Amino acid sequence: MKRTTLFCLALCLSLSHTMAQESWEPLPKESEVDICIYGATSAGITAAVEARRQGHSVLLIEPGGRIGGLTAGGLGETDIGKVEIIQGLSLNFYRRVGQVYGSDQPVFRFEPKVALKVYRQMLNEAGVKVYMHRRMAGVKKRGNEIQSILLERASERIGQKRARVTAKVFIDCSYEGDLMAWAGVTYTVGREGDKAYGEEFNGLHMREYHQFPDGVDPYREKGNPRSGLLWGILPGEMGQKGQADKRVQAYNFRLTVTNDPQNRIPFTRPERYDSTRYELLLRWKEVEPWRRGINDCFAWSLMPNHKTDVNNRGALSTDMIGENWDYPEANYKKRQKIYQKHVDYTLGLLWFVASDPRIPEAVRREIGEWGWPRDEYEENNHFTPQLYIRESRRMVGRYVMTQANCQRKASVDDAVGWAAYTMDSHNTGRYVVNGMVKNEGDVEIPIPGKYDVSYRSLTPQEQEARNLLVPVCLSASHIAYGSIRMEPVFMVLGQSAALAACQAIEQHNGCVQQVDAAQVMARFRE
């Protein structure tokens, strides 16, 4: 079988090695614990570790095949804003990463395998076992209380098809908010209009960043609208500035590649390669010639040991604009198709830049020095299985974080975490505007500094769910979420959510809305 066939097969299956704490064992048909955590993301891991440290029984469920979410999935260029927001187990994580590299200081640039190693250490020390490839299939409620969740297998390697978990408190730490949705909690998808919360940067916006210059022709035959649009351009009108919609900012993969000849596997032609998907890159470069080599269309950030964290950059890059709008509400089968589209697009883009004769030879030669690292993602043929779900569902909870919070024009008195990153959204759509190609949705607005994240933004309305916490798909407007949605923040909020769950169990019969946030913070600082 050809390498490319094996590669795509491995990506479709997204299988992981069996590890000590990442259990392929079937869950008992019925389990009962104090706290059930869905999603072994950065937030899920800190939540599970903290809950066990507080003496409570825990089940950590991961629907995929790798723990650690984006932090262990290629996002080694940590987005912070202000380093003082990193506290508790989040700071502990980055200090441990530093120790791996021989430093006594926290380290914020690291390889995926190092992040994975540190997370495993933390889970092992706390005695937390992760049950892999189990995903949501149902919720049983009595009034406003979640009694149990039903899980189905997400891989044929799991023998038992279904299992039920009963818990006193549930914490949804998934990027998609699936437990929250199954529980009937109110949420939103897409962008509110600017007027909804009195914001300036929420709804539809066409700005200058990651944008095509004027003059890029959108048609298959230049100047001929009847010839049809080039691949990647959406039909229809873009819309009006500031208006609401259900569109979602683009997803991509944070790519780990290496230029170490001893560790490098060369890029190869993907099985479903289609060069016409990248014609827009050529059109762009006809108008705005290559200046910085591969850094024109990739954010090529260097990591330790000759590796990278490659992110989106420029008018056309690794973001697959407009192809993810259905993902948040899609069923598992449709999500897998969207995922595979992103895989095919990404592999194809790398191959196009590396091999197409219309790309300048110097650029082809530059990218040809890189390839897949043999010592990363060995269970997934050296490609990250973690799609960057920048935004999915967002809960509409007891308090909605907005632009005013980010800009410190509004404050809260129940802080359980902090954020400090730019209000950030990647592009959402790509359209024809005045006969030219234009991207829409990118927003990058600096903020004054660190601000508080409200405990109420982690909690649903009590009448909807009295024993559920949501630290990842938390209650925030689109543009505020763009500032909050950083991995170190998720770690802090995951830990705080666990402490709140413990207090709810110990003092309030499981009711998270009755938790005293000040007590949570006092315990956090211990």
Residues with Cβ < 8 Å from 297, sequence gap 6 or more? Answer: 281, 313, 314, 315, 316, 317, 353
Which amino acid belongs to residue 51?
A
| Of residues 341, 281, 518, 300, the one with CA closest to residue 412 | 518
Q: Which residue's entry shows tokens 């990591």?
A: 303
Contact 524, 495 (CB under 8 A): yes
- Strand positions, DSSP E, 154-210: 162-172, 187-188
Instruction: Please state the domain count of the chain.
Output: 1
| Residue with the larger pLDDT of the pair 27 and 121 | 121
Q: Look at residue 8 in the predicted model and tell me its pLDDT.
A: 38
DSSP string, 334-375: HHHHHHHHHHHHHHHHHHHHHH-TTS-HHHHHHHTT-EEETT
| Residue with the larger pLDDT of the pair 55 and 209 | 55
CB atoms within 10 A of CB 104: 7
Q: Which residue's entry shows tokens 């290629």?
A: 74
pLDDT in tens, 49-107: 999 999 999 999 999 999 999 999 999 999 998 999 999 999 999 999 999 999 999 99
Q: Look at residue 161 in the predicted model and tell me its pLDDT.
A: 87
pLDDT in tens, 271-326: 999 999 999 999 999 999 999 999 999 999 999 999 999 999 999 999 999 999 99
Asked whether the predicted pLDDT for residue 21 surpasses 60, the reply is no
Asked whether the predicted pLDDT for residue 451 surpasses 80, the reply is yes
Q: Which residue's entry shows tokens 């999935």?
A: 73
- Tell me how far CA of residue 204 lies from CA of 80, 239, 309, 354, 440, in angstroms: 26, 7, 29, 34, 7
The conformational region for residue 314 under phi > 0 = left, psi -120 to 50 = alpha, else beta, is left
Distance CA 65, CA 379 (A): 9
- Residue 339 forms part of a structural domain: no
- Which of helix, strand or coil describes residue 398? coil
- Residue 507 forms part of a structural domain: yes
Distance CA 16, CA 379 (A): 5
| Of residues 343, 335, 177, 314, the one with CA closest to residue 253 | 343
**Domain of 177, in residue numbers:** 17-186+393-420+452-525
- Residue 197 forms part of a structural domain: no
Which amino acid belongs to residue 272?
R
The bridge status of strand 162-172 relative to strand 371-373 is: unpaired
Indicate the DSSP class of residue 55.
Answer: T
- Residue 443 forms part of a structural domain: no
Q: Look at residue 22 in the predicted model and tell me its pLDDT.
A: 64
- Residue 71 forms part of a structural domain: yes
- Residue 266 forms part of a structural domain: no
Tokens standing for residue 111: 């390889």
| Of residues 107, 13, 116, the one with CA closest to residue 64 | 13
CATH number of the domain enclosing 463 = 3.50.50.60
- Residue 436 forms part of a structural domain: no
- Which of helix, strand or coil describes residue 406? helix
Average pLDDT rounded to a whole number, residues 229-237: 96
- Residue 195 forms part of a structural domain: no
Which amino acid belongs to residue 417?
G
pLDDT in tens, 130-166: 999 999 999 999 999 999 999 999 988 777 789 999 9
Asked whether the predicted pLDDT for residue 173 surpasses 60, the reply is yes
